[in-house]
Every structure is written in C-alpha cells, then in structure tokens.
Amino acid sequence: MLLMTCKPDRATLKYRFCQWSVCGRAPFSSCSPKVCIVGAGPAGFYTAQHLIKSRQDVEVDIYERLPVPFGLVRFGVAPDHPEVKNVINTFTQTAQHSRCSFYGNVNVGTDVSVKELQQAYHAVVLSYGAEGNRRMGVPGEDLAGVHAAKDFVGWYNGLPDNRKLHPDLSCETAVILGQGNVALDVARILLSPMDMLKKTDITQPALDLLAESRIRRVLIVGRRGPMQIACTIKEVREMVNLPDTRPEMVAADFKGIAEAVKEVPRPRKRLTELLLKTALDVPTEKEQEKRSKASRVWGFRFFRSPVEVLPAPDLSRAAAIRLAVNRLEGSGEGASAVPTGEVEDVPCGLVISSIGYKSLPIDPLLPFDSRKAIVPNTMGRVQKTAGVYCSGWLKTGPTGVIGTTMNNSFDTARALLEDMDSGALDVSSAKPGSQGVTPLLEKRGVKPVEFSDWEKIDNEEIKRGVAMGKPREKLLSVDEMLHVART
Amino acid sequence: MALVTATRRLVHVTLRESSRRAAVISAASLPTQSRATCLQRGFTTSTQPLRSDNKVTVHFINRDGEKITVKGSPGDSLLDVVIDQDLDFDGFGACEGTLACSTCHLIFEEEVYKQLGPVTDEEMDMLDLAYGLTDTSRLGCQICLTKSLEGMVARVPESVSDIRQSGDGSS
C-alpha cells in the first residue's frame, strides 16, 4: 500500500509531499527514525539541527519543561549581551522545520518518564542542562542576603522559579564568590547605570529594585590568583569600561605576575596584562578623571575562600563573610589553593555564590554521576543505556559558552547518526514518536505548548517591550505564559 | 496533462526551497549585521561601477580539506560570502557577525594575513577563545573584501567540543 503523507510547510504555507511510505502501516507509525530531545536550550537545538540536516528522514521532537524555549540563552545570557542571543534566530529556523516539533510545558520525569520516551522514539537525547547549583558548604549559607548566582541571574532574566527572590540591595558592599563570566555578569548588572539597563530586556521588577539599590562596592573573590581567573577578557574589559565606576585591586595580589605572564599563550597573556594594567598602571588623565568622579567601586580579590557567612547581631541576615587566606601551590591552570590558616572578615550585606551550576538527575533509572554531576557517557552515548544520549552541560559539566555547547551537541548528533548507520541503534521497526506520548500527556492533564503558541508569547513580550522602550518585556510566570499561549 | 506538469513543478520547487533552507540552517540566518561592519569601515560598493567583473574570488578550504571557490563583492565580509553562497560549514557565524562568538574563525596564509588590516581589541578578545588559534587567524565577520584580496584562500579550522582542552576555561 502506497501512502503519501502531506504536511503544510509553515514557512511557505505550501503543501509539501514529505514522504512516500511503503510500509503498509497506518500513517502514524511511518518508518522514519524518530528522535526525542529533552530540553530546548542551545544543546537541544544544536543537536536537533545537526540531526535534521544530516539525514532527510529523521524527525525530531523537542520536549521542554517550560512553556518557552531557549533555556539559558533566554534565562542566563546577560540582558546587556543581546548579540549572544542572535542564536535564537537559527534555533527558530530549526523549530519551524517540518521535521522538528516543539512540545513546551512538558516535564520529563514527572509528566512522562524517560522509559515511556524510549518506547515511543528510536533515540532519546538528554539535553536538560544544569538546574541546580554547587553549594559553598559553609555555615550561614542559608541566611537572608545570600543567593546562588544562578538564582540571581534567573531573577533579573525572568526565570519563573526565581521571580520571588526579592534580593535586598540596601547594603553598601556585595561580595561575589567565584570569578567566572557569570560572576562578572552579576557584578556588571549590580553596577551598571540605569540608563544602560533600562534599554535591555532585563525584567521590570529587577530594574525597579536596581534603581533603588544602595550597593556601591562589589568585590569578586577567587580562591586562586590572577593567572587562574576563569572569566574571559571581554567581560573584564566591560568592567574596566563601565561608566561611573572605578577599579580597586590589591597590588600585593599581583606580585610576580608581570614576569610569569611572559611565558603563557596569547589568550591568557592578554587577559593577565589587562588585569595588571587595571590594577597597577598609573591611569591616563582621562581615566583618572573618570575614577575620581566615579560613584561605584569594583575589584577582584584573590587567594580567598569562603569559610563562613556571619550573621547580623539579630541573626536575621548576613552581615559579613569570613574568608580564608590562601597561597598558591604550583602555577598555571593547574595551580591549587592551600589555606594559610589566616582569615579575614569582609562586612557586606549581599553574598552571591557563583561557583558553578549543577545538573540534577531526572529519572532514577538513568545512570548519574553525582560526584561530577553529569550523566556518565562516552562521546554523548549514555553508559549502559542503549538508545539514550546526552549533550550540552549535562554531558560535560556546566562550563562553556554557546559555541562550546554547539560543538558538544554536534558531536553527540554525530555519535547518534553513526549508531543509526552501523545498526548499533535499531531504526528498522516503526515507532510512534509523539503519537505515543501525547495520549499519555492528555490522560495526565498535561497540555503541551507548540512552537506557534510560543510565537504568541514572543509577540506579546515584544509588544509589551515597545511600551517600555525595551526589546521585550518578559512574562514572568508559567500561568501568564500559558494564558497567552492558549488565547 | 497540464495539471500533472504543474504539480510536478510545484513539488520540484518546494523540494528545492526546503533543501536550500536546510543548508541555511547550518549558517547564520541574518547577514545584515556582518555587512554593517564593512560599511562602517568605509568598504562600500556605492562608488564601484556596475560591471559584471566587479567580484572577488575567494577560495575556502573546508574541514574535509576540500577547496570551494566562490565570488563575493567588495564590501562583503567573509561571513557574508559564506551565507550568501550557502556554504555548509557547521555552526559558522552563530552570533551573526556581532563579535559575540568565535565560530567564524578562519586561518590565512602569512601573505594574505598581512593584507587583512588591523585587528581591533574587540575582535582579538573573541578570537582568543577560538580553538586552534594561530598567528594568522582572524574572525571572518571582520574581514572585508577588496579587489586586492582577489584569489585569497581561507581555511576553516577544526572545532572541538570542549574549549577547555585548549587551556582557556570560560563559562
């Protein structure tokens, strides 16, 4: 029996003759390989993109917990870095491809199990990233005034789970633990002039709170030295150039650095030279004028590890952080911080711990390495679990920019395709794909959000943004998102 | 009979359109920002006479070692050329020419590199994050075509899944 399945091509509104199925089976279980991806962030989209491009018969369904796609591109990238969000354009193209479908508002693990996905699809790719964060593991960490950077960033970027954060910005000094790009984003958002922030897609509640902020000094603290700093030069340059601010570093932290920097590769060299210049050089006249007029201060502090957050006298909130003083053993990227026994107390009212995101297990039947907080895998193939793959931060740990995740995801897609070609992944028998999942969801009262529904949310956010002079005004709760999606 | 022919033509057109779209999926979708870079630097086509030979030949060596020869216009960036010619380099130009990534990293021969003009701090900052960085590396979105670059060769380097393997952590 010759079957012709036709689907309207959303972009051109023409009908495309998609495939001639000779299986003799009912239309819903055609022979094309069906892959499902868990997580609609960069990892999910780049994996989908590569699969769809490489084989003309693969169909990909992307499941996402939230009603809205794009993961950390939407909720992690800083509001003042809109260019980084350009990748949304290529993800949108992928989502609109006839062989790709987006199912938002579906929580894999609670609404549908990984096992049920494995039954419905030939392959499952876990790309759900890192929803948790590494704890400092020190007394006082749960006092009011202490936040994980992930939550602070989620708050100013409109992540529904963080909308009630209400950080207290009434103190003078904020201390950030960690010196990666996330720490620098937090520092920059805390110190940026309002007239810069108000033109971005930062949420209005965050903007309102920051407008009242009394924070005038931000210290960005790392365990090791200037040559081990984890952030990249672009972000440091942004701090140096931030209007109405001046840098304040400790000259002693840079002892021996000017000599050591001569031997290192160019990227590390340029970054360290910028730090040296900012910390030690006599400023130009123009720079000196800027510094003397600046109302806000920022600085890196090196060789310090948190040991305790000290409470205010009434024990209600954080009032200072106790830092252990370290010395460095070894040099270069592998140098380690060794406590000297000395400690130092820094009065502050806001403590942001930016020491890493952390992936969480979503299904007890899947292997999970709790030490590294990743799904154990070889080249993206989940260990001891045929037909299950992983990409993005869940695969390699929570570091890397979008470009890193892109390559990582392409690698997983290649492994999956290799397995299809070699027969290691059996795609010969038909699988129902989403037709095997949507009835389960319906029975459980879960109504997925399709990509065209997201487009309604997108349009509404852009429309509200126009009124505020911003690129968009994000909807802040899942309920609101679903309401707009369903209208 | 006419209906069958028309239908066949419709199928052919839509299939061709979909495969073009599939190729574009691997490159950035909006070239306008990258072209803006070259216009800002004064590389315009407005003073060039409208002649059919007003093109610059560029050879790309892709990751499989294949040589691909295309033509661009003076004032186009190399990223513009990759997009306009639908060249299929995985993940090339993710940020669409706004100096927010290093995926349009290209490697040149010494002689060509010297002709490419100065590198801004902004470009260097992003180039520093590229895997396989060399002394003759540049970001394609910042290289503007001129007639003097006729016949230039640009190699698309390997990319790697974890940039920390090159010794530069970033998060």
| Chain A residues touching B33 at Cβ < 8 A | 83, 86
The answer to whether domain A34-131+359-449 and domain A134-357 are alike in fold is no
Percent of chain B with pLDDT over 70: 69
User: What distance in Å separates the CA atoms of residue B161 and residue B171, rounded to the nearest whole number?
Assistant: 14
Instruction: Tell me the pTM.
Output: 0.88
Is B94 within 8 Å of A52 when comparing Cβ atoms? Answer: no
What is the ipTM score, two decimals?
Answer: 0.87
| B108-118 exposure pattern, b = at least 16 Cβ within 10 A, e = fewer | beeebeeebee
Domain boundaries, chain A: 34-131+359-449, 134-357
The closest CB to that of A407, out of B91, B121, B168, belongs to B91
Is A408 within 8 Å of B22 when comparing Cβ atoms? Answer: no
Residue of chain B whose alpha carbon sits nearest to that of A184: B171
Query: What is the topology classification, in CATH, of domain A134-357?
Result: FAD/NAD(P)-binding domain (3.50.50)
Q: Which pLDDT value is given to residue A28? A: 46
Residue of chain B whose alpha carbon sits nearest to that of A379: B161
Q: Which pLDDT value is given to residue A73? A: 97
The one-character DSSP state at B165 is G
Per-residue pLDDT tens for B31-63?
Answer: 567 787 887 777 755 555 555 578 999 999 999
Q: When comparing pLDDT for B149 and A12, which is higher?
A: B149
User: What distance in Å separates the CA atoms of residue B143 and residue B98, rounded to the nearest whole number?
Assistant: 13
Is B21 within 8 Å of A11 when comparing Cβ atoms? Answer: yes
Task: Name the residue among A76, A355, A351, A354 with its Cα closest to residue A215.
Answer: A351
Q: Which residue stretches of chain A have pLDDT < 50?
A: 1-29
Q: Which pLDDT value is given to residue A312? A: 97
Q: What is the 3-state secondary structure (H, E, C) of A135-152?
A: CCCCCCCCCECEEEHHHH
Q: Which pLDDT value is given to residue A26? A: 42
Q: Which pLDDT value is given to residue A181? A: 97
Q: Identify the residue whose tokens are 């210049």.
A: A277
User: What distance in Å separates the CA atoms of residue A314 and residue A386, rounded to the nearest whole number?
Assistant: 56
Question: In CATH, what is the architecture of A34-131+359-449?
Answer: 3-Layer(aba) Sandwich (3.40)
Q: Which pLDDT value is given to residue A209? A: 98
Mutate to test the interface with A, among B161, B164, B168 (most CBs of A within 10 A): B161
- Contact (Cβ atoms closer than 8 angstroms) between residue A23 and residue A432: no
Q: Which pLDDT value is given to residue A25? A: 40
User: What distance in Å separates the CA atoms of residue B29 and residue B93, rounded to the nearest whole number?
Assistant: 9
**Count of C-beta atoms within a 10 Å radius of residue B55:** 16
Q: Per-residue confidence at B115, pLDDT binned at 50, 70, 90?
A: very high
Per-residue pLDDT tens for A424-437?
Answer: 999 999 999 999 99
Q: Which pLDDT value is given to residue B40? A: 78
Mutate to test the interface with A, among B64, B96, B135, B170 (most CBs of A within 10 A): B170
- Name the token pair of A463: 């429309």
- Contact (Cβ atoms closer than 8 angstroms) between residue B93 and residue B106: no
Q: Which pLDDT value is given to residue B38? A: 85
- Name the token pair of B97: 């020419």
Q: Which pLDDT value is given to residue B33? A: 76
